[in-house]
Structure 1
Protein backbone atom coordinates (compact mmCIF):
# COMPACT_ATOMS: atom_id res chain seq x y z
CA UNK A 1 0.00 0.00 0.00
CA UNK A 2 2.90 2.40 0.60
CA UNK A 3 4.16 2.39 -2.99
CA UNK A 4 0.97 3.87 -4.54
CA UNK A 5 0.82 6.54 -1.85
CA UNK A 6 4.49 7.44 -2.29
CA UNK A 7 3.90 7.57 -6.05
CA UNK A 8 1.09 10.09 -5.56
CA UNK A 9 3.28 12.28 -3.37
CA UNK A 10 6.05 12.07 -5.96
CA UNK A 11 3.68 13.08 -8.79
CA UNK A 12 2.46 16.01 -6.73
CA UNK A 13 6.01 17.15 -5.91
CA UNK A 14 7.11 16.86 -9.54
CA UNK A 15 4.15 18.96 -10.66
CA UNK A 16 4.99 21.51 -7.95
CA UNK A 17 8.57 21.80 -9.17
CA UNK A 18 7.52 22.21 -12.80
CA UNK A 19 4.87 24.77 -11.81
CA UNK A 20 7.35 26.80 -9.76
CA UNK A 21 9.60 27.07 -12.82
CA UNK A 22 6.86 27.82 -15.37
CA UNK A 23 4.07 29.74 -13.66
CA UNK A 24 5.71 32.67 -11.91
CA UNK A 25 5.25 35.07 -14.86
CA UNK A 26 1.59 34.25 -15.65
CA UNK A 27 0.66 34.36 -11.94
CA UNK A 28 2.37 37.76 -11.69
CA UNK A 29 0.41 38.97 -14.75
CA UNK A 30 -2.87 37.69 -13.27
CA UNK A 31 -2.15 39.47 -9.97
CA UNK A 32 -1.42 42.72 -11.81
CA UNK A 33 -4.67 42.42 -13.75
CA UNK A 34 -6.67 41.74 -10.58
CA UNK A 35 -5.09 44.58 -8.60
CA UNK A 36 -5.61 47.05 -11.45
CA UNK A 37 -9.23 45.98 -11.91
CA UNK A 38 -10.09 46.08 -8.22
CA UNK A 39 -8.44 49.47 -7.67
CA UNK A 40 -10.41 50.84 -10.62
CA UNK A 41 -13.78 49.70 -9.26
CA UNK A 42 -14.25 46.69 -11.52
CA UNK A 43 -15.87 43.44 -10.45
CA UNK A 44 -14.45 39.95 -10.67
CA UNK A 45 -16.57 36.92 -11.56
CA UNK A 46 -15.38 33.34 -11.49
CA UNK A 47 -16.60 29.90 -12.45
CA UNK A 48 -15.22 26.42 -12.90
CA UNK A 49 -15.98 23.39 -14.97
CA UNK A 50 -17.17 20.36 -13.03
CA UNK A 51 -15.31 19.84 -9.77
CA UNK A 52 -13.21 22.95 -10.44
CA UNK A 53 -16.29 25.00 -9.61
CA UNK A 54 -15.55 24.29 -5.94
CA UNK A 55 -12.26 26.14 -6.40
CA UNK A 56 -14.18 29.03 -7.95
CA UNK A 57 -16.38 29.22 -4.87
CA UNK A 58 -13.34 28.98 -2.59
CA UNK A 59 -11.61 31.80 -4.47
CA UNK A 60 -14.67 34.07 -4.26
CA UNK A 61 -14.99 33.32 -0.55
CA UNK A 62 -11.39 34.19 0.35
CA UNK A 63 -11.47 37.31 -1.85
CA UNK A 64 -14.60 38.45 -0.01
CA UNK A 65 -13.56 37.55 3.52
CA UNK A 66 -9.78 37.82 3.44
CA UNK A 67 -7.07 35.19 3.47
CA UNK A 68 -4.08 36.66 5.29
CA UNK A 69 -5.64 39.40 7.43
CA UNK A 70 -8.87 41.24 8.13
CA UNK A 71 -9.70 43.72 5.37
CA UNK A 72 -12.65 45.14 3.42
CA UNK A 73 -14.21 42.66 0.98
CA UNK A 74 -13.22 42.62 -2.67
CA UNK A 75 -16.12 42.55 -5.20
CA UNK A 76 -15.69 38.93 -6.33
CA UNK A 77 -18.59 36.63 -7.14
CA UNK A 78 -18.59 32.96 -8.04
CA UNK A 79 -21.22 32.44 -10.72
CA UNK A 80 -24.05 30.20 -9.59
CA UNK A 81 -23.97 26.63 -10.89
CA UNK A 82 -27.69 25.92 -11.22
CA UNK A 83 -27.64 22.31 -12.34
CA UNK A 84 -31.40 22.42 -12.84
CA UNK A 85 -31.13 25.26 -15.38
CA UNK A 86 -32.99 24.79 -18.64
CA UNK A 87 -29.87 25.69 -20.62
CA UNK A 88 -27.24 23.91 -18.55
CA UNK A 89 -24.39 24.67 -20.98
CA UNK A 90 -25.21 28.39 -20.84
CA UNK A 91 -25.77 28.80 -17.09
CA UNK A 92 -22.56 30.81 -16.51
CA UNK A 93 -22.84 32.72 -19.79
CA UNK A 94 -26.35 33.94 -19.01
CA UNK A 95 -25.22 35.36 -15.68
CA UNK A 96 -22.37 37.27 -17.32
CA UNK A 97 -24.69 38.59 -20.01
CA UNK A 98 -26.87 39.99 -17.23
CA UNK A 99 -24.18 41.63 -15.06
CA UNK A 100 -20.80 41.73 -16.82
CA UNK A 101 -19.39 45.15 -17.71
CA UNK A 102 -16.42 46.18 -19.88
CA UNK A 103 -13.09 45.67 -18.08
CA UNK A 104 -14.64 43.44 -15.41
CA UNK A 105 -12.65 40.23 -14.99
CA UNK A 106 -13.75 36.63 -15.45
CA UNK A 107 -11.58 33.96 -13.83
CA UNK A 108 -12.17 30.44 -15.09
CA UNK A 109 -10.94 27.22 -13.47
CA UNK A 110 -10.65 23.93 -15.35
CA UNK A 111 -8.79 20.76 -14.36
CA UNK A 112 -10.06 18.57 -17.20
CA UNK A 113 -9.77 18.38 -20.97
CA UNK A 114 -13.17 19.80 -21.88
CA UNK A 115 -14.95 22.86 -20.50
CA UNK A 116 -18.19 23.58 -22.40
CA UNK A 117 -19.89 25.72 -19.71
CA UNK A 118 -16.74 27.70 -19.00
CA UNK A 119 -16.13 28.18 -22.74
CA UNK A 120 -19.59 29.67 -23.14
CA UNK A 121 -18.96 31.95 -20.17
CA UNK A 122 -15.73 33.10 -21.81
CA UNK A 123 -17.58 33.85 -25.05
CA UNK A 124 -20.12 35.90 -23.07
CA UNK A 125 -17.29 37.74 -21.29
CA UNK A 126 -15.63 38.52 -24.62
CA UNK A 127 -18.90 39.89 -25.98
CA UNK A 128 -19.04 42.22 -22.93
CA UNK A 129 -15.39 43.37 -23.39
CA UNK A 130 -14.36 41.72 -20.15
CA UNK A 131 -10.86 40.47 -19.37
CA UNK A 132 -10.17 36.80 -18.65
CA UNK A 133 -7.80 34.89 -16.40
CA UNK A 134 -7.85 31.17 -17.19
CA UNK A 135 -6.40 28.47 -14.96
CA UNK A 136 -6.04 25.39 -17.15
CA UNK A 137 -3.91 22.28 -17.54
CA UNK A 138 -1.90 20.74 -20.39
CA UNK A 139 -4.68 18.74 -22.06
CA UNK A 140 -7.20 21.62 -22.16
CA UNK A 141 -8.77 21.88 -25.61
CA UNK A 142 -11.57 24.40 -25.02
CA UNK A 143 -10.21 27.43 -23.18
CA UNK A 144 -6.83 28.56 -24.50
CA UNK A 145 -8.15 29.34 -27.99
CA UNK A 146 -10.62 31.86 -26.59
CA UNK A 147 -8.02 34.05 -24.87
CA UNK A 148 -7.08 37.43 -26.29
CA UNK A 149 -3.83 39.41 -26.03
CA UNK A 150 -4.88 41.16 -22.78
CA UNK A 151 -6.01 37.93 -21.11
CA UNK A 152 -3.85 35.65 -18.95
CA UNK A 153 -3.54 31.88 -19.00
CA UNK A 154 -2.02 30.02 -16.08
CA UNK A 155 -1.45 26.56 -17.58
CA UNK A 156 -0.62 24.00 -14.91
CA UNK A 157 2.08 21.65 -16.24
CA UNK A 158 0.14 18.39 -16.00
CA UNK A 159 -2.62 16.48 -17.79
CA UNK A 160 -3.58 14.66 -14.60
CA UNK A 161 -6.90 16.07 -13.36
CA UNK A 162 -6.08 15.33 -9.70
CA UNK A 163 -2.73 17.17 -9.86
CA UNK A 164 -4.38 20.05 -11.74
CA UNK A 165 -7.14 20.28 -9.11
CA UNK A 166 -4.55 20.51 -6.35
CA UNK A 167 -2.84 23.36 -8.15
CA UNK A 168 -6.07 25.22 -8.89
CA UNK A 169 -6.63 25.53 -5.17
CA UNK A 170 -3.02 26.47 -4.45
CA UNK A 171 -2.94 29.12 -7.19
CA UNK A 172 -6.27 30.60 -6.10
CA UNK A 173 -4.76 31.05 -2.62
CA UNK A 174 -1.61 32.60 -4.12
CA UNK A 175 -3.62 35.06 -6.21
CA UNK A 176 -5.62 36.20 -3.19
CA UNK A 177 -2.57 36.53 -0.96
CA UNK A 178 -0.57 38.58 -3.47
CA UNK A 179 -3.53 40.82 -4.33
CA UNK A 180 -4.25 41.47 -0.65
CA UNK A 181 -0.67 42.44 0.08
CA UNK A 182 -0.42 44.71 -2.95
CA UNK A 183 -3.65 46.55 -2.18
CA UNK A 184 -2.90 46.70 1.57
CA UNK A 185 0.92 46.83 1.72
CA UNK A 186 0.87 48.09 5.31
CA UNK A 187 -0.41 44.71 6.51
CA UNK A 188 2.02 41.96 7.50
CA UNK A 189 1.55 38.28 8.20
Structure 2
Protein backbone atom coordinates (compact mmCIF):
# COMPACT_ATOMS: atom_id res chain seq x y z
CA UNK A 1 0.00 0.00 0.00
CA UNK A 2 2.95 2.33 0.49
CA UNK A 3 3.96 2.33 -3.19
CA UNK A 4 0.88 4.28 -4.42
CA UNK A 5 1.40 6.86 -1.67
CA UNK A 6 5.07 7.21 -2.58
CA UNK A 7 4.12 7.53 -6.27
CA UNK A 8 1.75 10.43 -5.48
CA UNK A 9 4.41 12.21 -3.43
CA UNK A 10 6.93 11.66 -6.23
CA UNK A 11 4.55 13.10 -8.83
CA UNK A 12 3.91 16.12 -6.57
CA UNK A 13 7.63 16.71 -6.15
CA UNK A 14 8.30 16.34 -9.88
CA UNK A 15 5.59 18.87 -10.67
CA UNK A 16 7.07 21.22 -8.05
CA UNK A 17 10.54 20.98 -9.60
CA UNK A 18 9.21 21.53 -13.12
CA UNK A 19 7.16 24.50 -11.87
CA UNK A 20 10.14 26.07 -10.13
CA UNK A 21 12.07 25.93 -13.40
CA UNK A 22 9.29 27.10 -15.73
CA UNK A 23 7.12 29.50 -13.76
CA UNK A 24 9.46 32.07 -12.26
CA UNK A 25 9.03 34.65 -15.02
CA UNK A 26 5.24 34.38 -15.40
CA UNK A 27 4.72 34.45 -11.62
CA UNK A 28 6.81 37.62 -11.32
CA UNK A 29 4.97 39.16 -14.30
CA UNK A 30 1.62 38.34 -12.69
CA UNK A 31 2.73 39.78 -9.34
CA UNK A 32 3.91 42.97 -11.05
CA UNK A 33 0.59 43.29 -12.89
CA UNK A 34 -1.30 42.87 -9.61
CA UNK A 35 0.88 45.41 -7.79
CA UNK A 36 0.70 47.98 -10.60
CA UNK A 37 -3.07 47.61 -10.76
CA UNK A 38 -3.51 47.88 -7.00
CA UNK A 39 -1.27 50.97 -6.79
CA UNK A 40 -3.33 52.61 -9.58
CA UNK A 41 -6.55 51.98 -7.63
CA UNK A 42 -7.92 49.27 -9.93
CA UNK A 43 -10.02 46.36 -8.71
CA UNK A 44 -9.17 42.70 -9.09
CA UNK A 45 -11.80 40.02 -9.70
CA UNK A 46 -11.20 36.29 -9.60
CA UNK A 47 -13.01 33.10 -10.47
CA UNK A 48 -12.23 29.48 -11.19
CA UNK A 49 -13.75 26.63 -13.08
CA UNK A 50 -15.10 23.76 -11.00
CA UNK A 51 -12.71 22.81 -8.16
CA UNK A 52 -10.39 25.70 -9.02
CA UNK A 53 -13.07 28.11 -7.80
CA UNK A 54 -12.13 27.22 -4.20
CA UNK A 55 -8.59 28.48 -4.85
CA UNK A 56 -10.01 31.65 -6.43
CA UNK A 57 -12.09 32.28 -3.31
CA UNK A 58 -9.02 31.62 -1.15
CA UNK A 59 -7.05 34.15 -3.24
CA UNK A 60 -9.73 36.82 -2.70
CA UNK A 61 -9.80 36.08 1.03
CA UNK A 62 -6.04 36.37 1.60
CA UNK A 63 -5.79 39.45 -0.61
CA UNK A 64 -8.50 41.09 1.50
CA UNK A 65 -7.33 40.00 4.93
CA UNK A 66 -3.56 39.62 4.53
CA UNK A 67 -1.38 36.57 4.31
CA UNK A 68 1.85 37.30 6.18
CA UNK A 69 1.09 40.40 8.27
CA UNK A 70 -1.66 42.82 9.18
CA UNK A 71 -2.25 45.39 6.43
CA UNK A 72 -5.03 47.34 4.73
CA UNK A 73 -7.24 45.16 2.51
CA UNK A 74 -6.63 44.94 -1.22
CA UNK A 75 -9.76 45.43 -3.41
CA UNK A 76 -10.07 41.84 -4.62
CA UNK A 77 -13.46 40.20 -5.19
CA UNK A 78 -14.26 36.55 -5.83
CA UNK A 79 -17.06 36.25 -8.35
CA UNK A 80 -19.83 34.12 -6.96
CA UNK A 81 -20.84 30.87 -8.59
CA UNK A 82 -24.61 30.88 -8.03
CA UNK A 83 -25.81 27.67 -9.60
CA UNK A 84 -29.36 29.04 -9.60
CA UNK A 85 -28.54 31.46 -12.41
CA UNK A 86 -30.66 31.30 -15.55
CA UNK A 87 -27.63 30.63 -17.72
CA UNK A 88 -25.06 28.67 -15.72
CA UNK A 89 -22.14 29.29 -18.09
CA UNK A 90 -22.70 33.06 -18.02
CA UNK A 91 -22.64 33.53 -14.24
CA UNK A 92 -19.10 34.97 -14.10
CA UNK A 93 -19.39 36.97 -17.32
CA UNK A 94 -22.59 38.66 -16.13
CA UNK A 95 -20.78 39.88 -13.02
CA UNK A 96 -17.82 41.20 -15.04
CA UNK A 97 -20.18 42.99 -17.43
CA UNK A 98 -21.92 44.58 -14.43
CA UNK A 99 -18.84 45.85 -12.56
CA UNK A 100 -15.66 45.50 -14.63
CA UNK A 101 -13.85 48.69 -15.62
CA UNK A 102 -10.96 49.28 -18.04
CA UNK A 103 -7.61 48.21 -16.58
CA UNK A 104 -9.22 46.20 -13.77
CA UNK A 105 -7.75 42.70 -13.55
CA UNK A 106 -9.51 39.35 -13.88
CA UNK A 107 -7.65 36.40 -12.35
CA UNK A 108 -8.92 33.07 -13.69
CA UNK A 109 -8.03 29.59 -12.51
CA UNK A 110 -8.59 26.34 -14.35
CA UNK A 111 -7.47 22.87 -13.28
CA UNK A 112 -9.08 20.95 -16.15
CA UNK A 113 -9.16 20.88 -19.92
CA UNK A 114 -12.39 22.81 -20.41
CA UNK A 115 -13.41 26.06 -18.70
CA UNK A 116 -16.64 27.40 -20.25
CA UNK A 117 -17.63 29.74 -17.39
CA UNK A 118 -14.12 31.13 -17.05
CA UNK A 119 -13.83 31.56 -20.83
CA UNK A 120 -17.04 33.56 -20.92
CA UNK A 121 -15.76 35.73 -18.04
CA UNK A 122 -12.56 36.35 -20.00
CA UNK A 123 -14.55 37.38 -23.08
CA UNK A 124 -16.52 39.81 -20.91
CA UNK A 125 -13.27 41.17 -19.42
CA UNK A 126 -11.84 41.70 -22.88
CA UNK A 127 -14.96 43.64 -23.88
CA UNK A 128 -14.34 45.88 -20.85
CA UNK A 129 -10.63 46.41 -21.66
CA UNK A 130 -9.59 44.55 -18.54
CA UNK A 131 -6.31 42.70 -18.05
CA UNK A 132 -6.21 38.96 -17.36
CA UNK A 133 -4.00 36.69 -15.30
CA UNK A 134 -4.71 33.04 -16.10
CA UNK A 135 -3.53 30.10 -14.03
CA UNK A 136 -3.87 27.11 -16.35
CA UNK A 137 -2.36 23.69 -17.01
CA UNK A 138 -0.90 21.66 -19.84
CA UNK A 139 -4.32 20.26 -20.74
CA UNK A 140 -6.02 23.64 -21.14
CA UNK A 141 -8.15 23.94 -24.27
CA UNK A 142 -10.17 27.09 -23.51
CA UNK A 143 -8.31 29.74 -21.57
CA UNK A 144 -4.89 30.38 -23.15
CA UNK A 145 -6.33 31.20 -26.58
CA UNK A 146 -8.19 34.20 -25.15
CA UNK A 147 -5.13 35.93 -23.71
CA UNK A 148 -3.75 39.10 -25.24
CA UNK A 149 -0.21 40.49 -25.30
CA UNK A 150 -0.64 42.40 -22.00
CA UNK A 151 -2.13 39.42 -20.17
CA UNK A 152 -0.17 36.81 -18.19
CA UNK A 153 -0.49 33.04 -18.25
CA UNK A 154 0.95 30.84 -15.53
CA UNK A 155 0.77 27.35 -17.06
CA UNK A 156 1.29 24.59 -14.49
CA UNK A 157 3.33 21.78 -16.12
CA UNK A 158 0.85 18.97 -15.50
CA UNK A 159 -2.35 17.50 -16.91
CA UNK A 160 -3.27 15.77 -13.65
CA UNK A 161 -6.10 17.84 -12.13
CA UNK A 162 -5.12 16.83 -8.58
CA UNK A 163 -1.54 18.10 -9.06
CA UNK A 164 -2.81 21.24 -10.80
CA UNK A 165 -5.26 21.96 -7.99
CA UNK A 166 -2.45 21.65 -5.43
CA UNK A 167 -0.33 24.09 -7.40
CA UNK A 168 -3.16 26.59 -7.84
CA UNK A 169 -3.33 26.99 -4.07
CA UNK A 170 0.43 27.38 -3.85
CA UNK A 171 0.47 29.94 -6.69
CA UNK A 172 -2.28 32.14 -5.25
CA UNK A 173 -0.46 32.16 -1.91
CA UNK A 174 2.73 33.10 -3.77
CA UNK A 175 1.04 35.93 -5.69
CA UNK A 176 -0.43 37.39 -2.51
CA UNK A 177 2.91 37.13 -0.72
CA UNK A 178 4.76 38.83 -3.58
CA UNK A 179 2.17 41.62 -3.76
CA UNK A 180 2.41 42.21 -0.02
CA UNK A 181 6.23 42.29 -0.13
CA UNK A 182 6.28 44.77 -3.02
CA UNK A 183 3.58 47.10 -1.66
CA UNK A 184 4.72 46.94 1.97
CA UNK A 185 8.50 46.32 1.76
CA UNK A 186 9.04 47.62 5.28
CA UNK A 187 7.00 44.79 6.84
CA UNK A 188 8.52 41.56 8.04
CA UNK A 189 7.61 39.02 5.38
CA UNK A 190 8.79 35.77 6.91
Which secondary structure state, in structure 2, belongs to the residue aligned with residue 50 of structure 1?
coil
Pair 1:107 & 2:107 matched: yes
CA distance in 1, matches of 2:143, 2:96: 17
CA distance in 2, matches of 1:141, 1:74: 31
Structure 1 equivalent of residue 24 of structure 2: 24
Structure 2 equivalent of residue 70 of structure 1: 70
Q: CA RMSD in A?
A: 0.3
CA distance in 2, matches of 1:78, 1:14: 31
* Unaligned residue ranges in structure 2 (runs of 5+): none
Structure 1 equivalent of residue 8 of structure 2: 8
Structure 1 equivalent of residue 87 of structure 2: 87
TM-score computed with the length of structure 1 as normaliser: 1.00
CA distance in 2, matches of 1:112, 1:103: 27
Which secondary structure state, in structure 2, belongs to the residue aligned with residue 135 of structure 1?
strand
CA distance in 1, matches of 2:161, 2:123: 24
Structure 1 equivalent of residue 117 of structure 2: 117
CA distance in 2, matches of 1:14, 1:116: 29
CA distance in 1, matches of 2:132, 2:139: 19
Structure 1 equivalent of residue 182 of structure 2: 182
Which secondary structure state, in structure 1, belongs to the residue aligned with residue 140 of structure 2?
coil
CA distance in 2, matches of 1:56, 1:173: 11
Deviation at 1:60, TM superposition (A): 0.1
CA distance in 1, matches of 2:44, 2:50: 20
Structure 1 equivalent of residue 150 of structure 2: 150
Deviation at 1:140, TM superposition (A): 0.2
Structure 2 equivalent of residue 134 of structure 1: 134
Runs of 4+ deviating beyond 6 Å = none
* Unaligned residue ranges in structure 1 (runs of 5+): none
Deviations 1:50-85 (A, max 9, x none): 010000000000000000000000000000100111
TM-score computed with the length of structure 2 as normaliser: 0.99
Deviations 1:112-170 (A, max 9, x none): 00000000000000000000000000010000000000000000000000000000000
Deviations 1:16-43 (A, max 9, x none): 0000000000000000000000000000
